[in-house]
Structure 1
Amino acid sequence: MKLVTCLLYLIVLSTCSLANAESKKVLIVETLPVPIVTMHTQYISAELSRLNMDIELEIYNGDGQSERIANHISKKLVCNCIDLVITNGTLASKVGKRVLKGKNTPMVFVTVADPHGAGLVPDKDSTGFNFITGSIYSVKRGTKFEIANQLLKGKQTDIGIVATTYPSALTDIAKLESISNRYKNINLVKRLVDYKDSNDMELTDTYLQANEAVISVQSEVDFYWSVNGPFSEKQSFVPEISKIKPVLYGANVKSVMQGALFTVIPDVHSTGEQIAHIVKDIFSGVSPHKIAVRPAPRSTVAFNVKTANQLGIVIPYDLLSIAGDNVFQ
Structure 2
Amino acid sequence: MNLNSVLKVIALSTVVLCTSLYAKPVYVATTAIVEHPALDAVRDGIKAVLNENGYTGDQLKFTYESAQGQPAIAAQIARKMVGDAPDVIVAIATPSAQAAVSASRDIPVVFSAVTDPVGAKLVPRLIQPGGNVTGLSDMVNVKQHLALIKEFVPNLKTVGVPYNPGEANSVAIVNALKEAAVEMGITIVESPAPKSSDVMIASKQLIGKVDAIYCPTDNTIISAFEAVVKVGIDAQVPVFAADTGSVERGAVAAVGYDYGDLGRQTGEIVIRILKGEKPGDIDVKMADGTSLFVNTTMAAKMGVKVPADVLARATQIIK
The match for 2:102 is 98
The match for 2:297 is 306
CA gap of 1:26–1:275, structure 2 versus 1, over 3 A, is same
1:108-127 equivalences under 5 Å are 108-123=110-125
The match for 1:252 is 243
* Deviating 4+ runs (over 6 angstroms): 4-7
Q: d(CA) in 1 for partners of 2:304 and 2:229?
A: 20
1:157-213 residue CA offsets vs partner (Å, 9 max, x unmatched): 3221122212211111111011000111x22211224x3xxxxxxxxxx33334223
2:52 to 36, 50, 53: 50
The match for 1:241 is 231
1:1-329 equivalences under 5 Å are 8=10, 11-12=13-14, 15-17=17-19, 20-21=22-23, 23-53=25-55, 54-80=59-85, 82-100=86-104, 102=105, 104-123=106-125, 129-153=130-154, 155-165=155-165, 166-184=167-185, 186-193=186-193, 195=194, 206-234=195-223, 235-245=225-235, 246-309=237-300, 311-317=303-309, 319-324=310-315, 326-329=316-319
CA gap of 1:211–1:129, structure 2 versus 1, over 3 A, is farther
Q: Give the SS at the match of 1:68.
A: helix
Once the two structures are TM-superposed, the CA of residue 309 in structure 1 deviates from its matched residue by: 4.3
Once the two structures are TM-superposed, the CA of residue 13 in structure 1 deviates from its matched residue by: 5.5
Structure 1 unaligned spans of 5+: 196-205
Report the residue type matching 2:200 in the other structure. Answer: N
Taking structure 2 as the reference length, the TM-score comes to 0.86
Farther off after superposition, 288-297 or 246-255: 246-255
Report the residue type matching 2:75 in the other structure. Answer: A
Once the two structures are TM-superposed, the CA of residue 60 in structure 1 deviates from its matched residue by: 1.2
Farther off after superposition, 115-124 or 308-317: 308-317
CA gap of 1:24–1:88, structure 2 versus 1, over 3 A, is same
1:54-80 residue CA offsets vs partner (Å, 9 max, x unmatched): 321111112122232222332333343
1:29-63 residue CA offsets vs partner (Å, 9 max, x unmatched): 11110121111111211121112123211111121
1:75-132 residue CA offsets vs partner (Å, 9 max, x unmatched): 333343x1101101111000011001x2x211111111111111122149xx984211
Query: 2:228·2:239 contact (CA, 8 Å) conserved in 1?
Result: no
Query: 2:69·2:220 contact (CA, 8 Å) conserved in 1?
Result: no
Query: 2:164·2:221 contact (CA, 8 Å) conserved in 1?
Result: no
Once the two structures are TM-superposed, the CA of residue 27 in structure 1 deviates from its matched residue by: 0.4
Taking structure 1 as the reference length, the TM-score comes to 0.83
Query: 1:256·1:304 contact (CA, 8 Å) conserved in 2?
Result: yes
Report the residue type matching 1:76 in the other structure. Answer: M
Query: 2:238·2:304 contact (CA, 8 Å) conserved in 1?
Result: no
Report the residue type matching 1:96 in the other structure. Answer: A
The match for 1:200 is none
Q: d(CA) in 2 for partners of 1:295 and 1:174?
A: 19
Query: 1:218·1:244 contact (CA, 8 Å) conserved in 2?
Result: no
Q: Percent identity?
A: 19
1:286-305 residue CA offsets vs partner (Å, 9 max, x unmatched): 11122111222211211112
Once the two structures are TM-superposed, the CA of residue 240 in structure 1 deviates from its matched residue by: 2.7
Q: d(CA) in 2 for partners of 1:5 and 1:31?
A: 56
Farther off after superposition, 4-13 or 24-33: 4-13
Farther off after superposition, 238-247 or 57-66: 238-247
Farther off after superposition, 271-280 or 5-14: 5-14
Q: d(CA) in 2 for partners of 1:19 and 1:122?
A: 42
Structure 2 unaligned spans of 5+: none
Query: 2:256·2:292 contact (CA, 8 Å) conserved in 1?
Result: yes
Q: Give the SS at the match of 1:171.
A: helix
Query: 2:45·2:260 contact (CA, 8 Å) conserved in 1?
Result: yes
Report the residue type matching 1:116 in the other structure. Answer: V
Report the residue type matching 1:42 in the other structure. Answer: D
